[in-house]
């Protein structure tokens, strides 16, 4: 998901698996409106998670028509989220790859008065919430297929703290820095290494 940026940026959906794509795309109002579509979010996520693919391959993976995936891939390309992969495919069908490892957005988007921007932000955040929920549910449903060593290594913790906004921001930044430290020193070839997903949710909550 996350690769923290300079404050006050917040992580959006990120599933970087391509070591040659190291940049993070920071969303502005225009690019936010472009990405805020459930299928486009799923397409970009699939390219980041599984690597380069064609519209037909993505259609099969996501249960969509190739016409729909082709159209939305072109829209993603028009806004710089994906690019052609020149190392693959010599025929008529285009291969696509993610242009960035992840996306992020900063708090100025929350303050944008444009209703279209707020609507796009709602779509993006709800879609990411759904993805996180699905990933967690998949782990719960398939945990018996993993070795016992993963049971204690996984985490379902939640915490309630009393913090002002600036302290919560500081806490998030420190957690992101620690996660980045582990990510930068990770060795995919290490014995027992598997792809691990971490979700960080931190938000205020009323007493009642």
**Cross-sheet strand order for the sheet of 82-84:** 53-54, 95-98, 82-84
Q: How far apart are CA 105 and CA 26, in angstroms?
A: 5
| Residue 15, pLDDT above cutoff 70 | no
Task: Report the share of the chain in percent with pLDDT over 70.
Answer: 88
State how beta strands 95-98 and 53-54 pair.
antiparallel
Rg of the chain over all Cα atoms, to the nearest angstrom: 18
Instruction: Label residue 162 by pLDDT band (50, 70, 90).
Output: very high
Q: What is the pLDDT of residues 44-96, one digit of tens each?
A: 999 999 999 999 999 999 999 999 999 999 999 999 999 999 888 666 789 99
Total-model pTM: 0.81
Beta bridge partners of 14: 102
């Amino acid at each position: 998901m996350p690769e923290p940026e300079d404050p006050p940026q917040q992580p959006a959906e990120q599933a970087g698996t391509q070591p040659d794509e190291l940049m993070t795309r920071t969303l502005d109002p225009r690019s936010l409106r472009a990405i805020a579509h459930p299928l486009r979010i799923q397409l970009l996520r699939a390219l980041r998670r599984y690597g380069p693919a064609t519209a037909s391959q993505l259609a099969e993976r996501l249960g969509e028509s190739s016409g729909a995936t082709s159209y939305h891939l072109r829209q993603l390309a028009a806004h710089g989220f994906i690019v052609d992969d020149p190392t693959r495919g010599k025929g008529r069908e285009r291969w696509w790859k993610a242009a960035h490892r992840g996306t992020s957005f900063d708090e100025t988007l929350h303050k944008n008065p444009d209703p279209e921007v707020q609507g796009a932000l709602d779509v993006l955040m709800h879609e990411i919430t759904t993805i996180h929920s699905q990933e967690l549910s998949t782990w719960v449903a398939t945990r018996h297929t993993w070795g016992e060593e993963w049971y204690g290594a996984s985490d379902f913790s939640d915490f309630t703290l009393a913090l002002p906004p600036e302290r919560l921001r500081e806490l998030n930044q420190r957690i992101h820095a620690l996660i980045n430290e582990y990510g930068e020193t990770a060795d995919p070839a290490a014995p027992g290494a598997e792809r691990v997903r971490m979700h960080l949710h931190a938000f205020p909550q009323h007493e009642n």
